[in-house]
């Protein structure tokens, strides 16, 4: 990978790294707030979605022939993925003591992660099985869970 450009295979690897880090982020929140069962329940659903996303990316990567995996990807598709990784690498769950900080971190992750998914939707080399309607519903579901998680922390 040079600069902000890479191959499709490298982009998928980066996206898989995002999903793993997002899973770890939500697992960390579960541990941090383990005494709040309602919050843990809300976050657990989002965490499990991250695992599903990782599996989907694995299936996409395994289904693509080598010549597709080595195709160059424009840097505008790489930047959002790098932004999510940078965000997840700098999040300090131990240092978060304020409910608003926690919710802001979740919202930020979900917003930038959505940008990653959209990078794949418009990549013609991938026969993307997730439609825009699915993505919209997934986003709404996550927003609802985030709202419920916030309410659990405020109670």
Give bridge partners of residue 121 from the DSSP assignment: none
Q: Give the separation between CA 88 and CA 114, rounded to whole angstroms.
A: 14
- The domain spans of the chain are 6-154
Q: Give the separation between CA 98 and CA 86, rounded to whole angstroms.
A: 22
Residue the block writes with tokens 């790489």 = 78
pLDDT at 136: 64
Q: Give the separation between CA 142 and CA 109, rounded to whole angstroms.
A: 11
- CATH code assigned to 6-154: 1.20.1260
Q: Residue 117, exposed/middle/buried by CB under 10 A (0-12, 13-18, 19+)?
A: buried
pLDDT at 149: 83
pLDDT at 134: 65
How many H-runs (helices) and E-runs (strands) does the chain carry? 6, 2
Full pLDDT tens readout for the chain, 155 residues:
555 578 989 988 998 999 999 999 999 999 999 999 999 998 998 899 889 888 888 888 888 889 888 988 888 878 888 888 998 999 999 888 788 888 888 888 887 777 776 666 666 655 555 555 666 677 777 778 888 888 888 87
Q: Are 88 and 25 in contact (CB under 8 A)?
A: yes
pLDDT at 141: 79
């Amino acid at each position: 990978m040079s600069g902000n450009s890479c191959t499709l295979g490298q982009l998928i690897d980066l996206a898989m790294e995002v999903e793993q880090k997002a899973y770890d982020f939500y697992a960390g929140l579960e541990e941090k707030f383990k005494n709040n069962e309602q919050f843990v329940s809300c976050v657990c659903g989002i965490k499990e979605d991250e695992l599903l996303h990782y599996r989907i990316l694995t299936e996409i990567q395994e289904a693509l022939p080598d010549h597709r995996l080595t195709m160059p990807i424009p840097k505008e598709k790489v930047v959002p993925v790098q932004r999510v990784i940078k965000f997840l690498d700098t999040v300090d769950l131990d240092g978060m003591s304020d409910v608003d900080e926690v919710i802001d971190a979740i919202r930020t992750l979900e917003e930038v992660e959505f940008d990653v998914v959209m990078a794949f939707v418009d990549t013609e080399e991938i026969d993307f099985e997730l439609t825009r309607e699915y993505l919209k519903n997934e986003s709404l579901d996550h927003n609802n869970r985030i709202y419920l998680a916030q309410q659990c922390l405020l109670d």
